[in-house]
Copies of this chain bind each other. A is one copy, B any other.
Amino acid sequence: AKTHQQHCGLFSCSCHVLQESLLSSASGYSNYRGILNWCVVMLVLSNARLFLENIIKYGILVDPIQVVSLFLKDPYSWPAACLIIVSNVFILAALYIERRLSVGTISEWTGWILHIFNLTSMLIFPSATVLAVTSMTPVGGVVSLGVYTVLFLKLYSYQDTNRWCREIRQAKAKTLTRSYSCKCSNGSAVHTNVSYPGNLTHRDMYYFVFAPTLCYQLNFPRSPRIRKRFLMRRLFEMVRGNTPWMVPTIQNSMKPFQVPESLFPPLLSFPLPSQVPNHLIWLIFFYWFFHSTMNFVAELLQFGDREFYKDWWNSESVTYFWANWNIPVHKWCLRHFYKPMMKKGINKFMAQMAVFLVSAFFHEYLVSVPLKMFRLWAFMGMMAQVPLAWFVGRFLNGNYGNAAVWISLIIGQPVAVLMYVHDYYVIHYGTTK
C-alpha cells in the first residue's frame, strides 16, 4: 500500500505556496537582462524597417560625400586633423617638464608654472583656432575640441600623479626605513612594474594618452591577453552602420519646426516630437562610445580596468546618475578636483558645486565654440541639475525616482539641443521654417 507521503507527491494535492509576483516591488526581483535584449531587438527591427522604407522612398540617401562634408568644407584643407596632430606638442611638453622635475633641474614651482601655462594653452589655442579658421565645420570643431579637452584632463592627471610620486620619494628619503616598498600596482605578472622616474618615457606617455582613462597611474592593471573574438565583436558594433541611419534620424528630428506653432505653446511643441530620436541617439552614442569603442581600445592596449560606466540605468537620484554614467570623468573629478579641495578644507557642498560648475563650463565650451554661438544653454542645463537633484532626492525614491531621472534625460537633453539648433537655424538661415 502507498503511504500518504507518496500520495501527496504523486497527486500534488497542494500545489500553491505563499509568494509575490516578480514584477511587484515586494518581490525584490531585479533580473531584467531580457528587457535589455528586447530593447536592442526593437531598435534593430525598427531601424531595419526605417532603412527599407527610406531606400524604397528615396533610394540610398547617404552618400559618402555627404558624410565627409560633415567634417570637411574644402577637401584640400583638413583643419581638425591638423589641430589634432599639433596636440603632440603639448603632450611632449608635459613629458619634458616632468623629466626636468624628476632630476631636479627645475624647481617644483617653475615646473608648476610651466604646467599651468601648457595646460591653459591647451584650452585657448584650439578654441582660438576653431573660431578663427573659417573652413572648420561644427562637427570637426567638436571632435578636435573634444580631443583637446580629454588631453587636458589627462595631462593634468599626469602632472598631479608625478608630483605625488616625488612627494612619496621625498618622504621615503627622509624616514629611510624599508617599510615603504611601494605596492601601488595591480599589474599582471607578465608586465614588469616600473617605479617613479622610470615611468617618464615616450612609450609610457603615449600608452596613457591612448588608454581609455583620464587618471594617470604608474602601472596600469593589464589584461592577460587580447581576446580576438571580443575585439571583433566590439569592432563590428563600432562600425555597424551607425552613420547610415544617423543622418535621416537627425533630419527627422528637425521636423518639429514645421509643426504649426500656434497649436501648442512653443516650449511644449518643440521638445515633444523630437525627444525620442534625440534620446535614442544619446543612448546609442553611449553604447557606441562607452561600451564598444572604449572596450575595443582597452582590449587592443590590454588595458585591464573596463569600468567605463556603472549601473546608471538603475539610478534613483540625479546625483547617482551623474556619478555613474561616465566613470572616467567622474574618477578624474574625484581624484584631481574634489578630494584635493576637501583636503584644503573646503566644505562638501561648495566642493560639489565647484565640480558642477567646472563640468558646466566644459559642456558649454564644447558646444559654443564649434557652433560659434555663446548662448549658455548647456551651462544652464548643467546647473539646472542641482535643483533637480535636490527635488528628486527630497520627494522621490525607488522606481519613482528612477522614472524621474529617465524623464529628465528624455525631456531635458532635447530641450538643450533644440535651443542650439533653433538658434543656429535662425542665425544661418534667418528663420526656423
Contact = CB atoms under 8 A, between A and B. Distances in A.
A361 to B, nearest CB: 24
A397 to B, nearest CB: 13
28 contacts: A3-B180, A7-B167, A7-B168, A13-B165, A13-B168, A13-B182, A14-B186, A15-B217, A15-B331, A17-B186, A17-B304, A17-B307, A19-B306, A20-B306, A21-B291, A21-B308, A23-B291, A24-B230, A29-B311, A30-B32, A32-B35, A34-B313, A35-B35, A35-B313, A37-B402, A38-B39, A38-B406, A56-B263
A11 interface: yes
B273 A2 contact: no
B186 A335 contact: no
A3 B36 CA distance: 47
Interface string A364-394: 0000000000000000000000000000000
Interface stretch (A42-50, A145-153, A351-359): A42-50
B215 A307 contact: no
Given A3-B179, A7-B164, A34-B314, 18 more contacts: A4-B182, A11-B167, A11-B168, A12-B335, A12-B339, A15-B215, A22-B310, A24-B291, A30-B30, A30-B31, A31-B32, A31-B314, A33-B314, A33-B402, A34-B406, A37-B406, A45-B276, A49-B273
Interface string A199-243: 000000000000001010111111100000010000000000000
Given A31-B314, A399-B37, A18 B223 contact: yes
A306 B221 contact: no
Contacts of A174: 1
Contact of A15 (B29, B313, B335): B335
A60 interface: no
Q: What is the oligomeric copy number?
A: 2
A304 B39 contact: no
A21 B294 CA distance: 10
Contacts of A331: 15
B304 A13 contact: no
A407 interface: yes
B275 A45 contact: yes
A17 B188 CA distance: 11
A185 B287 CA distance: 50
A428 interface: no
Nearest to A26: B230
